Structures are given as C-alpha cells and as structure tokens.
Amino acid sequence: MKRTFITLLVLGAILAPLAHLHSQSAQPAPTAAASPTPTPATPLVITINICPQLKNPLLQLDAMKKANQAMIEQQAKTLQTLDELQKQAEELKIYGKRS
C-alpha cells in the first residue's frame, strides 16, 4: 500500500509539468526579421533493391554505398535546417527578453 502510494506520488510529480506544457500556444509569435516559411519535412524513403543480377558482392557493396551516401546527404540537409531553427529560436529568446 505504501509502495503504491509512493509510486503514484512520484508519477504525479513527473507528469504535473507536462500539463503546463499543453497550455502553451502552438504558433510562435511573429519575428521582426523576415524568416522564410518552413516547408514540411518530407520523409526520405530509400529502398535498396538487391536484384538477382547483382550476384557479385562488390556490386552489392557499391549499391549499398550509393544508398548510404544518399542518406548522409539527406541527414546533412536536415541538420542544416535544424541549426537554422535553433538560431531562430535563440533570436526569439533575445527578443522576448528585450520586451
């Protein structure tokens, strides 16, 4: 009985801040700097088709390397977008402190 009470108490303490996060506005405040509207992220779908004609392991390896390179390029673009979003968030924090 005591153990379940403590468990519920700890769980309530963990979940209580999450209720506050829900009440925040979903749309950010407009910024003074003109920022481009973010485009929705498109999921990258890469399929590796190892067809029966590629019986040579070296050809299969080359096909996998090409697929991996495409994935790395997509990750680099995503990382750049995330960096830009982080900079914009920091600017918003600065503008918020000024007002």
Q: Which residues of the chain have pLDDT under 50?
A: 23, 34
> What pLDDT is attached to residue 85?
96
> What pLDDT is attached to residue 17?
65
Could you tell me which residues come within 8 angstroms of residue 70 by beta carbon, excluding any fewer than 6 positions away?
44, 46
Could you tell me which residues come within 8 angstroms of residue 92 by beta carbon, excluding any fewer than 6 positions away?
28, 29, 31
> What pLDDT is attached to residue 75?
96
Cα 80 to Cα 21: distance, rounded to the nearest angstrom:
27
- Against a cut of 0.85, is the pTM above it? no
> What pLDDT is attached to residue 48?
60
